[in-house]
Amino acid sequence: MSISKKERTLSIWIGLAIGITLSSLLFRYALNEKEAKTRQRPGNFDGNMTAQGTSFDPLPETVAKKIPGGIVVFFDKNESICESHTAEKTPKWVIETSGAFRSERLFILIEQNPAEKTSHGFFRASELYVKSTMELAWPVKPLALLRLAANASKSSSASYALSPERHRLIGTNERTGEWILQIKDISPSGIRSSIAEFKGLSGLIEQVRLSPWTPEN
């Protein structure tokens, strides 16, 4: 027995409704599974151990909301990294989260303002902005030229600071002309050390600073 056009149309709409409902349920299930796995991972915001196995102070709720689902990779309460905070000791967290693409890993440095405990700075943990005192054009290997200049200056710290195993030049800030330098050691102590090393190259480096990051929330 054949079905009418009206019955066929109704069957199609019922099938579509069932398909959409099932897809929505599967998506929600996958999302819940992902959130559950994140909560179980070392470094989750609800725990007290970083992904490196060391304890950390709880993230302020206002900060955690800006980076939902992140993982605390590093934490310390030693000297400040931000220049505006002088040499004060202050809590710092390095959070792993997703970038613009889900497959992109993004590491964010968060530092509490010692003068205003509810205020925090957000920076890209793996990047520094570096301004050279020399006029070196990009992309004609400026870091290699800087390395040659550093060797010529016979600075013992220069070859270490400019090691390709530790740093990599990935671009320039078009607005300021600063180099964007990628660093390998993204722990607070590693970031602090990289900044100190480049500042120590007097006559070659004019300025080095953290790369700001703005939360979407």
**First-last CA distance in the chain:** 58
pLDDT at 42 over 90: no
Name the burial class of residue 91, with classes exposed (0-12), middle (13-18) and buried (19+) by CB atoms within 10 angstroms of its CB.
Answer: buried
Looking at residue 27, its pLDDT comes to: 63
Quick check: is 145 in a domain? Answer: yes
- Boundary of a domain, candidates 107, 122, 137: 122
Whether residues 202 and 131 fall in one domain: yes
One domain for residues 90 and 115: yes
Per-residue model confidence as pLDDT tens digits over 197-215: 888 776 777 888 999 998 8
User: Is the pLDDT assigned to residue 107 strictly greater than 70?
Assistant: yes
Q: Is residue 45 part of a domain?
A: no
The per-residue pLDDT for 188 is 93
Taking a C-beta distance cutoff of 8 angstroms, is the pair 98, 106 a contact?
A: yes
Whether residue 102 sits in one domain with residue 133: no
- Which of 103, 122, 141 is a domain's end point? 122
**End position of a domain, from candidates 106, 122, 138:** 122
pLDDT at 150 over 60: no
DSSP secondary structure letter of residue 76 = E
Residue 113 domain boundaries? 61-122
Residue 46 lies in a domain: no
Tally of structural domains, the chain: 3
Whether residue 49 lies inside any domain: the answer is no
The model scores a pTM over 0.85: no
* Residue 175 and residue 132 in one domain: yes
Does residue 54 fall inside a structural domain? no
**One domain for residues 111 and 139:** no
pLDDT for the residue numbered 139: 47
Residues 132 and 180 in one domain: yes
Residue 52 inside a domain? The answer is no
Same domain flag for 134 and 207 = yes
Tokens 């970083």: give the residue. Answer: 50
Backbone angles phi, psi at 123, to 5 degrees: -145, 155
Same structural domain for residues 66 and 115?
A: yes
**193 in the same domain as 162:** yes
Distance, CA of 9 to CA of 22 (rounded, Å): 20
CATH code where residue 144 lies: 3.30.70
Shared-domain flag, residues 191 and 169 = yes
In a domain, 3, yes or no: yes
Whether residue 150 sits in one domain with residue 100:
no
Look at residue 108 and tell me if it is in a domain.
yes
Same domain, 139 and 196: yes
State the pLDDT at residue 7: 64
